[in-house]
Amino acid sequence: MTSVDDSPELPPLPRDRMADFKEGVVPYLFVVPGLLLVFGILGYAVVGGAILSLNETDMFLNKTFVGLKNYRDVFSDPRFINALWRTLLFVVVSIALGIGMSMIFALTLYRVTRGKRFFRGLSLVPYFVSGVATAVMFRFIFTTSGGFANSVLSALGLPTPSWLGDPALAFMVAVLANCWFMVPFATLILLGGLQTIDREIYDSASIDGASDFAVFRRITLPLIKPMMGVSLIWVTYISFSTFDIILALTAGGPQRATELLSIYMFETAFLELNFGAGSVLMMVLLAFNTALSVLYLKVFVMGDHRRKLEK
Amino acid sequence: MTGPSSKKSGAGRSRTGPVRDWSGRFGRAALIGIPLAVLVVWTLTPIVWAVLASLKEPLEIYESNALLPANPTLAAYRKVLAMDGFGRWLFNSALVTVVATFVPLTISVLAAYGFARYAFRFRHVLLLLYLVPRIIPRVSLIVPLNSLMSDLGLINTYWVLFITYSASAIPLATWILVGFFASVPKEIEEAATIDGANMWNRLRRVMIPIAWPGVVTAGVLCVREAWNEFAFVLALVNESTMRTLPYQLYVLKDAMGVQDYAVYNAFTVLTILPLLLVYLLLERRVVDSIVSGSVK
Amino acid sequence: MDAPFVALQDLRKSFGTTDVLHGINLEIPQHAFVVLVGPSGCGKSTLLRMIAGLEKIKHGRIVIDGEIVNRVHAKNRGIAMVFQNYALYPHMSVRENLAFSLEMLKTETSEVERRIKTAADILQLEQLLDRLPAQLSGGQRQRVAMGRALVREPKLFLFDEPLSNLDAKLRVEMRAEIRALHQRLESTTIYVTHDQVEAMTMSDIVVVMNAGRIEQSGPPLELYDRPATEFVAAFMGSPAMNLLRGRVVRADGAPAVDVGEGLFLPFDDRAGVREGMEVVYGLRPEHLAISPDPASGLIGEVALVEPAGWETHLHADIHGRRFRAISTERLDVTPGSRIALAPDPTRVHLFDGSSGARL
């Protein structure tokens, strides 16, 4: 057994072309089929929507190129301004309420000692209820006569408002239904964040004499910031494109108080059969989501997916 | 409003006398108990109310403010099951759910394995392409999809639902599975390679069983998306025989003159029940996956 | 000598632009227990993975048992490998873990049973066969990993830092066990570790690697007694050899190395060493004799005393230079004590100041 210092010149082995080929092609065989399906459908839809938004369609769906006319029409329509404004308000109120509730629920679930698994499992149930069913259930809670809310209020001798007939109240009911559906997932994401915090940090902080509130503000919040971001983004997405809940709950009414962009888009395209204008609204929704996503990718996903692959 | 440390109770006890200790313990119990009660009530009220309403007699809701049904009856469920077409809607929902779970799951398992295990040239770019669709809300696509599918003559077919449901389920499923596959130590697969397992055997006998919680999670989420899907079916189907349960639930609102609340609620309960059963069965894995941050 | 059982010829490897191996040549006789040792990043694991067939070979050749295996698939190379983290299949019982490779090779059931039984006997796994890896202790997992290699009846065993996840006591036990197993089976073994104690105690042949090259290979005591390079001298042995940079001079007619601060360290004259050369002076701690008599050597001040039981390790400063010394006597010294240290000039190692090669 020796180690030879002067390496003998070896004739190079011919390249194994079959192996090279397999190595080059195999990974693509795995990943490309899905991509084709996803982009064949969803990618086409985006491109198709962009094209549609530049055309006018008649009853028989014949297209005529009209340039940016649809955009001018939509952007100058007071109904659009209303929908835009309602959507932004809906998103902001949903975020405030949704994240607040998620945070409280997550902290609660984190501290529960008995039946933790049960309560965790229970808390996710609304995530599995369809938007339409959520809307229907909330309608029956808030119907004027025979609804749960008014039954309770009248039993207490309180006034029984017409929840879904009043624009402001209906808007709040829509926000509540939306939160009911989206809070569970955000809660569990935040709970996950809380559970990754090493308990020794809390011990050390309490030895340092930090108050409960100080611990929450100075330790818990900064440490769950990434998870906070994820749930924030999620809540924003969901609220921005809420559709089934609103359509089945209020269909945009009363007096367009809950007519969000998605509802407006649906009605424009499928009830008024104005596909051009509908596509313009689709592009508006996409633009908002893309802007959000650039933020999302920058802050969370890039690092995350690199970490995933480089494990 | 407090930091979530169970250990702090010890510090509190040593800091204060027995009286403060009692109030402190009481306060802490309330601090958990009250929000927990809110959580339970908030989560269950809509469902419980729907179930209660479904057990009432048709006009009971108008006549009485009582929360509980006076004479609980399953009549509403019988009416729903006897509805013309209910079997068909249930079948439609079940069929598209099964297809739109197995197709995307199969495709996603392969894609995720490719992404997790091979270092190829366009890996990062392609994975990003898989992610892009996740930021596109489904509802935004219904206008051009309707126009495309009309052109293709696919409106009112199962195919249109299979294709669109599957395509929109793939990105999330792939994303979940990439994480699970990548967290399987590389050495285990190398050991299997040396042990003589070919790619198919490594995937089937080693990778999938180890990443099984991820496959289950992705599967349950595919089931959820397909079973609850509404925007696509609304835009791509208009014959009553092609409706799925959520679509029919939506249409129910307009179809009935004087609303039979009990029937309406019974229908709602029946549409959410199958999925809740699936969830109940696999709750542990799904919740664990979400809490561990594998689903985002 | 017979034809080598394993021959590595001019193996090179790079990941991207980083060269990990720069032309490795090595021949391993049959039945040998060879340990590849070196600091992390020296390329030893890459080399092992190339032999196993887990890394592609783009330059050079690997011959196992007379066959060029460059393009032979890992499963057909007649090797078995034990991984650092064991790489047991977590969803399979111990029995299924052992059977997996045989099943892949479509071995007959009776033969599978026989081999599992043999391996279980050797490694005392009978009681564990129906457990899952998660239900085993670290040492038991280690045994299962070895059992999984054993059932394949390989021509060549490969171990990749198999003991690094075990606690100190278990590591010493498993060291002996692996060695005993080798003596019993006599199968050619290549074992990678970063722990020079493992390398010294387990090997027939040690191969010291550094920065993608083989520094030296040979029987462990030969490397210990005659390290070919400064690197090997520093790497092998614990506590490590004293190494000081200096210049060869004549002090009172006797050869010595001037390491500065007025400190001259003596050595026995040897060929190739001339006055004025820049060298590295090396002396193992056990060759720096401690004497209680201050007149008999260099005067040092004790900085640190590490009693290790039957021997005592001392750190002492001589003219401001830190030295390590070992004494098997119980010394009555404390930090600050002044003691005399006498280097044994016949045991001095000298290395070229620039190339690090032994002089």
Handedness of CA B51, B55, B58, B59 (dihedral sign): negative
Please tell me what DSSP assigns to residue C241.
P
- Indicate which CATH number applies to the domain containing B249: 1.10.3720.10
Three-state SS sequence of B213-281 = HHHHHHHHHHHHHHHHCCHHHHHHCCCHHHCCHHHHHHHHHHHCCCCCHHHHHHHHHHHHHHHHHHHHH
Residues B253 and B108 in one domain: yes
Please check whether residues B19 and B131 belong to one and the same domain.
Answer: no
* Residue A121 CB contacts under 8 Å (≥ 6 apart), including other chains: B283, B284, B287
Q: Are residues B104 and B24 part of one domain? A: no
Shortest distance between the Cα of B198 and any Cα of chain C, in A, equals 9
Strand C6-15 versus strand A63-65 pairing type: unpaired
**Co-location of B17 and B82 in the same domain:** no
| Chain centroid, CA B21 distance in Å | 44
The type of residue at A4 is V
pLDDT above 70: residue B151: yes
pLDDT of residue B188: 94
Does B12 or B185 have the greater pLDDT score? B185
Three-class DSSP category at B92: helix
Across A102-115, average pLDDT = 91
Please state the pTM of the whole predicted model. Answer: 0.85
Tell me: pLDDT of A268 over 60.
Answer: yes
Q: Which residue of B has its CA nearest to C150?
A: B195
Mean pLDDT rounded to a whole number for chain A: 85
Residue pLDDT, tens place only, A148-196: 888 888 888 888 888 999 999 999 999 999 999 999 999 999 999 999 8
Q: Where are the domains of chain A?
A: 80-198+225-310
| Closest approach of C134 to chain A, Cα-based (Å) | 21
- Encode pLDDT of B198-245 as tens digits: 889 999 999 999 999 999 999 999 999 999 999 999 999 999 899 999
Q: What is the CATH number of domain A80-198+225-310?
A: 1.10.3720.10
**Per-residue confidence at A59, pLDDT binned at 50, 70, 90?**
low
Domain total for chain B? 2
Residues of chain B contacting A289 with CB distance shorter than 8 Å:
135-137, 140
Which residues of chain A make contact with B36, given a CB cutoff of 8 A?
Answer: 108, 112, 119
Alpha-carbon separation of residue C201 from A2, B86, C37, C196, C237 (angstroms): 20, 77, 12, 8, 11
- Checking if the pLDDT of B5 tops 70, the result is no
- Please check whether residues B97 and B134 belong to one and the same domain: yes
Contact C87 B188 (CB under 8 A): yes
Element (H, E) at C250: strand C242-251
d(CA A161, CA A166): 8
Taking 70 as the threshold, does the pLDDT of residue A2 lie above it? Answer: no
Q: Please indicate, yes or no, if residue B61 is contained in any of the structural domains.
A: no
Q: Are residues B17 and B162 in the same domain?
A: no
Structural domain including B19 reads: 4-54
Q: Looking at the structure, do residues B86 and B182 belong to the same domain, yes or no?
A: yes
Q: Is C7 helix (H, G, I), strand (E, B) or coil?
A: strand
Q: Are A1 and C205 an interchain contact pair (Cβ–Cβ within 8 Å)?
A: yes
Residue B67 lies in a domain: no
CB C281 within 8 A of CB C265: yes
Confidence of residue B120 (pLDDT cuts 50, 70, 90): confident
Pairing of strands C242-251, C188-193: unpaired
CA–CA dist C236, C226 (Å, integer):
11
Task: Please give the pLDDT value at position A26.
Answer: 84
Query: Does B12 have pLDDT greater than 60?
Result: no
Tell me, yes or no, whether B12 and B157 share the same domain: no
Dig out the tokens for B92 from the structure.
């439609």
**Cα first-last separation, chain B:** 27
Confidence (pLDDT) at B258: 54
- Looking at the complex, does the CB of residue C35 fall below 8 Å from at least one CB of chain A? no
C50-103 tens-digit pLDDT: 999 999 888 899 999 989 998 889 999 999 999 999 999 999 999 999 999 999
Q: Give a yes or no: residue B129 inside a domain.
A: yes
Q: Is pLDDT larger for residue A230 or for residue A72?
A: A72
Query: B63 lies in a domain?
Result: no
Rounded-to-integer distance, Cα C107 and Cα C101, Å:
9
pLDDT for the residue numbered C317: 92
For the stretch C219-273, pLDDT in tens is 999 999 999 999 999 999 888 999 999 999 987 778 889 988 888 888 888 878 8
pLDDT tens digits, C337-354: 888 888 888 999 999 989
Q: Single out the residue of C203, C253, C247, C245 nearest to residue C223, CA to CA.
A: C203
Within 10 angstroms of residue C240's Cβ, the number of other Cβ atoms is 15
The answer to whether residue C214 neighbours chain A at the CB level (below 8 Å) is: yes
Tens digits of residue pLDDT in A191-246: 999 998 888 888 888 788 778 788 888 888 888 888 888 888 889 988 988 999 99
Contact between C90 and B195 using a beta-carbon 8 Å cutoff: no
B10 has pLDDT over 60: no
What amino acid is encoded at B289 in this protein? Answer: S
Measured over the CA atoms of residue A48, residue A53, residue A57 and residue A63, the dihedral's sign is negative
Q: In 3-state terms, what secondary structure has residue B35? A: helix
Residue B14, pLDDT score: 41
Question: Which of A12-26, A230-244, B175-189, C110-124 is predicted with the least confidence, judged by mean pLDDT?
Answer: A12-26
Interface test mutation site (partner A, options C54, C69, C71, C207, max chain A beta carbons within 10 A): C71
pLDDT value at A14 more than 60 = yes
Give pLDDT, residue A296: 67
Which ipTM was obtained for this model? Answer: 0.87
